[in-house]
Structure 1
Amino acid sequence: MNPDKEFSSNPTVEELLKENQSLREQLKKAQAETERLRKLLEEALRSLKRQAAPFSKGEPKSNPNRPGRKSGSDYGQRAFRAVPKRVNEEIAVPLPKKCPHCGGRVVHDDTQPQFQEDIVRQTIVRRFEVETGHCTGCGGHVQGRHPLQTSDALGAAGVQVGPQALTMAAHLTKQMGISHERVAQVLEWGYGLQVSRSALCRAVTRLGKKAEPTYQALQTAVRHSLVNQLDETGWRVAARLQWLWVCVSAEVTIYAILPGRGFAQAASMLGEDYDGFLNHDGWQPYYRFIHAFHQTCLSHLIRRCEDLIETASATAARFPQAVMHSLLEGLALRDRYVRQEISAHGLNVATGRLEAGMDRLLAKTFRDLANRRLAKHLRHEQPWLFTFLHCPGIEATNNAAERALRPAVVARKTWGGNRTENGAKTQQMLISILTTCRQQGKDSFDRITELFLSSAPMVLDLVPNSS
């Protein structure tokens, strides 16, 4: 009799324990490998939805839909350029003597106007005769200053770029995300103005110093705002990772480039004792604003549920489907209230039922690891899922903050970030002012020009009434 066969057919307790331990280790390794592959799959699916366009999207469709909206009366009258209110030049366009089609005689029937708006590729040069003198009392140097001057420099530094050109440069580099080098090219190609990249950089830095009081006043305004939306994204300063923060209120948007992504940085913008409403994406440090009322972004949660449904089995997908249905039901309930289809009392009753349903969902236990993580996250967010229903008027998402970050994300892809801390400081102040101007419907060009022409830092008319 083979002793090995006898041993294998009648294993001892010790042998069974060893085999059990070996199987446990194999199972643990298999589970770890499964989790690793699941994360890779999730990352691959997320990469397909990122803002950056892929190098190739495969073969084009044979019959693609026409881009843009469909034509028809549903979208109102067709839009055309408005007739200009002023005309600088009139040009007569006579008929040809012969028909271009058959060579016959042409008879005049009518005269119709056509307008053309264009730019002028020409710079103007101003010569300021600056009077200089001295004070008889203290002996100090004194010189005159015209409202159109952007600098007091004389002598070798007495040739300056004008306020309109510098304002254009500030908009191109800070609002449009174009590098200083390319801005200089635009000014030369478009207007025949030759200016170096370093000159533009120094001018924008001077502008940032003049804008600092306005930035500080805007920051004070958001601290006193009843509702704010927060978000952040990565940003490079001197090739090192920092974070670009944005805070959006009803009338003001401010940005801050800070070295971290925690509560200390958020508190530096809003103050540790902020007690208003905060819309955000559920990032944990935001909840350290213990005096604030929170609204976690439902768009983030809905997208997370959609991602889970794509990769989960039919059984595991039931939980994210139920969660997504509940969140969408909350948004539909808000819309019904806005349309005055239900009363305030009806809204409160329906909100209570919605929250009770969420309680029942989260009271369950889940075998699927992804569902357990989602349930854990939702239990933490649960008190702040439906703040927008308890306080009508509060947004259910932080989409406004995400939209405010998108121009900065485009700029980051174009030229990477800032080279110095001083450049980052200038960046945050100027994009705050430009974005707030657009938010309030005010002309940013006039206000940036006003800053360039100011001999000292000043506060622009962008700060809401604190009362």
Structure 2
Amino acid sequence: MDRTDLQQLSKDELIEMVLRLQRPSKDSRTSSKPPSTDKKEKRVNSRPGGAKPGHEPHNRVLADFADMFRDHEPTACKRCGHAFSGDDTMVLAGAYDEIDIPAIRPHVTRHRRFSCHCPQCGTTTKATAPAVATATPFGPGIHALAIYLKSFHALSYERLSGVFMDIFGLNVSEGAIMNMFSRSRPSFQATAQAAKASLRAARVVASDETGVRIEGTNAQHWVFHCKDAVVHQPDYSRAARVVHETMGGHVPEVWISDRYSAQQSHGHRHQTCLAHLARDTAFALEHGEDDLPLRFQLWFGRVFDFARAISTFAASTVASKKRKFDKQLAGLLCAPTSCDLAQKLQAKIGRARDQLLTFCDYPGEVDVTNNTSERKLRPWVIQRKVTNGYRAMWAAQAEADVRTTIDTARLKGANPFQVIASVLA
């Protein structure tokens, strides 16, 4: 707006404009922005680190197995000096583990191929060439470690090459590491397809997405999960097409997501993430001029408390609570207010009204928030910050298949490295 436009505004319009400009930026408490974007505040009267007075100490539990035992026995009585012999009874007074990692070096098997000259016909015959002669010299253990460190700890090819040299004394180029991913890709594609099949039969599915760089352009990394599977899917698009292709025509009973339009209308019913709306409510409460956001905040607090304990209530109690919450919400949505932030909050919550209490009809099956999806996306945000993305789509898809395999297995408590090793065995 220029000076002429401003002169045409009324006094009330100018006051409203100034108030809007004075509003602080949103942060992780009052919006869906991640905590990493918040400015760190000075810690006033912060307490020092370390154990606090009265803290009960915790000692390391002894290992299940010991490779070596070193016994320490008294030689003489500390009071009279009597020398102990082998016939005296010794009682175990304490056990302590000393743990260390032995020197690590690669195990090298050198295949030697011989030839033999036939004395009868004069023909020279060579032994059959071993498979390693025409394949990679790196075994499945090195493949598993490279994939684990790259996919699970966000090491770039350059840093991973340095790890192999510094720790193992093994010269592995960045191209060799890339070939390990390419070579291992079919194995993880098979396990990822099995996870996707479980997803396409699920009753409750949740989803979310985050930005990622692929081939130098902005792209998206999607995650879909149910109680039996987790599926990661990179794509250049943030549109609903990705959901349709991933689900393969399957429509679950309930879909859980935030309010993004591309994640709507994929299930027979929908549960909107209440945490997102609660953060919008916190912003309106902090910067608004009405007590309506406070009343919404109290309503969300009661719903969260109920959701945490919903499995302990009888079906009749759950139904009664749902009717009570819905009646209270109806009163809040029609409450009069002159605050524009409160009005916007009313409108946003009103548009999602039929998606707020879906979890009450599926006790223990449907989460009230989409925080689980956000936690499964967190490694990709870290990966994006550390490595700045992927140079090729096939690399992004290969790593997504690895994470799909690992995250699905972790639902049953499996060890990530052992999962990778078993797939490559």
Normalising by structure 1, what TM-score? 0.74
How far apart, in 2, do the equivalents of 1:386 and 1:48 lie?
20
Note if 1:400 corresponds to 2:372: yes
- 1:302-340: CA deviation from partner (whole Å, max 9, x where unpaired): 222112212223xx2x11111121122122233454334
Task: Pick which of 442-451 and 421-430 moved more.
Answer: 442-451
Change (3 A) 1:111 1:328: closer
**2:65 alignment partner in structure 1:** 85
How far apart, in 2, do the equivalents of 1:370 and 1:55 lie?
24
How far apart, in 2, do the equivalents of 1:112 and 1:80 lie?
14
Change (3 A) 1:197 1:385: same
Shift of 1:111: 9.0
**1:371 alignment partner in structure 2:** 342
Change (3 A) 1:54 1:392: closer
Amino acid at match of 1:82: L
Change (3 A) 1:22 1:196: closer
Note if 1:330 corresponds to 2:303: yes
How far apart, in 1, do the equivalents of 2:199 and 2:183 lie?
25
**1:98 alignment partner in structure 2:** none
**Contact 2:220–2:238 under 8 Å retained in 1:** yes
**Contact 1:242–1:257 under 8 Å retained in 2:** yes
Change (3 A) 1:401 1:50: closer
Matched residues, number: 398
**1:344 alignment partner in structure 2:** 315
Shift of 1:62: 4.8
1:421 paired residue among 393, 396, 419 = 393
Amino acid at match of 2:263: Y
- 1:383-423: CA deviation from partner (whole Å, max 9, x where unpaired): 01111112211211111111111111111111111111111
Note if 1:256 corresponds to 2:233: yes
**2:160 alignment partner in structure 1:** 183
How far apart, in 2, do the equivalents of 1:131 and 1:385 lie?
74
**Contact 1:207–1:451 under 8 Å retained in 2:** no
**Contact 1:337–1:344 under 8 Å retained in 2:** no
**Contact 2:29–2:282 under 8 Å retained in 1:** no
**1:122 alignment partner in structure 2:** 105
Change (3 A) 1:71 1:127: farther
Note if 1:35 corresponds to 2:17: no
**1:411 alignment partner in structure 2:** 383
**Contact 1:263–1:288 under 8 Å retained in 2:** no
List aligned pairs for 1:32-71, cutoff 5 A.
32=17, 34-38=19-23, 41-42=25-26, 50-52=34-36, 57-58=41-42, 61-64=44-47, 66=49
How far apart, in 2, do the equivalents of 1:306 and 1:62 lie?
26
**2:263 alignment partner in structure 1:** 286
**1:136 alignment partner in structure 2:** none
**Contact 1:84–1:115 under 8 Å retained in 2:** no
- 1:230-264: CA deviation from partner (whole Å, max 9, x where unpaired): 11111110221111111121121111111122211
* Seq. identity, %: 19
Shift of 1:379: 1.1
1:267 paired residue among 244, 261, 275 = 244
Change (3 A) 1:131 1:83: same
SS in 2 for 1:230: strand
**Contact 1:180–1:201 under 8 Å retained in 2:** yes
Amino acid at match of 1:83: A
How far apart, in 1, do the equivalents of 2:310 and 2:29 lie?
36
**1:321 alignment partner in structure 2:** 294
How far apart, in 2, do the equivalents of 1:69 and 1:191 lie?
40
SS in 1 for 2:264: helix
Note if 1:172 corresponds to 2:149: yes
How far apart, in 2, do the equivalents of 1:48 and 1:299 lie?
9
- 1:59-90: CA deviation from partner (whole Å, max 9, x where unpaired): x55551546898657xxx83413234131x55
Note if 1:438 corresponds to 2:410: yes
Task: Pick which of 301-310 and 436-445 moved more.
Answer: 436-445
Shift of 1:34: 4.2
**1:10 alignment partner in structure 2:** none
Shift of 1:162: 1.8
**Contact 1:244–1:255 under 8 Å retained in 2:** yes
How far apart, in 2, do the equivalents of 1:274 and 1:111 lie?
63
Amino acid at match of 1:292: H
2:223 paired residue among 246, 266, 274 = 246
**Contact 2:200–2:247 under 8 Å retained in 1:** yes
1:386 paired residue among 357, 364, 389 = 357
Shift of 1:192: 2.3
Task: Pick which of 173-182 and 279-288 moved more.
Answer: 279-288
Change (3 A) 1:165 1:273: closer
Change (3 A) 1:226 1:54: closer
**Contact 2:154–2:382 under 8 Å retained in 1:** yes
**Contact 2:406–2:419 under 8 Å retained in 1:** no
Shift of 1:41: 3.1
Amino acid at match of 1:119: I
Structure 1 stretches of 5 or more lacking a match?
A: 1-20, 96-104, 133-142, 146-151, 454-467
How far apart, in 1, do the equivalents of 2:95 and 2:29 lie?
56
Change (3 A) 1:168 1:69: farther
Shift of 1:29: 5.9
SS in 1 for 2:338: coil
**1:302 alignment partner in structure 2:** 278
Structure 2 stretches of 5 or more lacking a match?
A: 1-5, 75-80, 85-89, 116-127
Shift of 1:36: 4.5
